[in-house]
Amino acid sequence: MKFFVDTADTAEIKELADIGLLDGVTTNPSLIMKAGRPMKEVIAEICGIVEGPVSAEVTATEFKDMMAEAEVLGKIADNIAIKVPLTLNGLKACRALSDNGQMVNVTLCFSANQALLAAKAGASFISPFIGRLDDIHLDGLEIIREIRVIYDNYGFETEILAASIRSANHVKDCALVGADVATVPPAVLKGLAKHPLTDKGLEAFLADWAKTGQSIL
């Protein structure tokens, strides 16, 4: 499974990139707002930190305007994935962009039918929002299972990018049902390494080592 981080905080991105955990980054208008800096400046900096796809989202809703914005975003860096909403205009833009060799992330997906359309439109990534489905008492993981079956049935190359992930269990469950990518907040990604028994065991090992009076260096 690939790990993308869902943030526009460049300090967090640098920290995770230095650990070697990052395969890409996803952003959206809300995350850019939190960054409090010019969008192009933030996206360009992120693209310089990670080699993998960096999703930059259009804000237009009409096809012509989406394409105009996509042209601007695509010029920021070679690893930009244009993020478009799962609407008919978004799918039309996805087809046009993908036909021109541009990576496209189709976002705000909440059904397997929508994911099927995105794959047929040539999407590089489809972003089903599992946490938001859970919020309205639907099984967010079920959409991942359904999309996996449909894509495997027909050999679609679109990658399933599980989004709106809220917990370490979400990440584990998405991996179990075959998501290609999980995009997660920095705190959740860091939390995957944590376990109380790991902390307890390390504490015991270090205490015993200190009693020996030895040093490795």
> What span, in angstroms and rounded, lies between the C-alpha atoms of 153 and 144?
14
Task: Enter the tokens of residue 175.
Answer: 């991996």
| Local structure of residue 93 (DSSP, 8 states) | H
- The residue count for the chain: 217
Among residues 2, 83, 190, 211, which one is catalytic? 83
Please indicate whether residue 200 is annotated as part of the active site: no
- Would you say 130 and 170 are in contact if contact means Cβ atoms under 8 Å apart? yes
Q: SS3 of 74, please? A: helix
Q: Report how far apart, in Å, the C-alpha atoms of 25 and of each of 2, 45, 49, 215 are.
A: 11, 12, 10, 40
**Residues classed as catalytic:** 83
